[in-house]
Amino acid sequence: MKANILLKYENKWVALNSNRNKVLHAANTIDQLNKVLTKTKEKDVILHYVMPFNGNISPLGSQNG
């Protein structure tokens, strides 16, 4: 997989083909993406969230609220 295939999809959900070399579909939310995939009947895909490019991921801790 190459990062440059994701450049147009910052902060979006994308559906990658199984080889991870092509973005098949993109949407703002998982729900929207799933709707498209249900319509097109594509099953052999990997859903992938493209992080905002200018942010790092920070660790989370959890406890009961």
Partner 1 sequence: MAKVTGYSYLPQPFQDPKTGIVGEIYRPMIAIRISKDHGQISRYFDALIDSGSDRNLFPIQFAIGAGINFKKLKQRRIYGIGKGYIDAYPAKINIWLGTKEYQTEADFSPQQMMPLLGRDGFLSLFKSVKFDETGQFVYIEE
Under the binding rule (CB under 8 A), the answer on residue 19 touching partner 1 is no
Identify any residues that bridge with 35 across adjacent strands, giving them in sequence order: none
Alpha-carbon span 13 to 57, nearest angstrom: 17
Interacting positions 22-61 with partner 1 (CB under 8 A) = 29-31, 34, 37, 43, 45-51, 53-54, 57-61
Alpha-carbon span 32 to 18, nearest angstrom: 20
What's the half-sphere exposure (Cβ side, CA atoms, 13 Å) at 41? 0
Q: How far is the CB of 33 from partner 1 (least distance, A)?
A: 9
> Where does this chain bind partner 1 (CB under 8 A)?
1-4, 6-7, 10, 20, 29-31, 34, 37, 43, 45-51, 53-54, 57-65
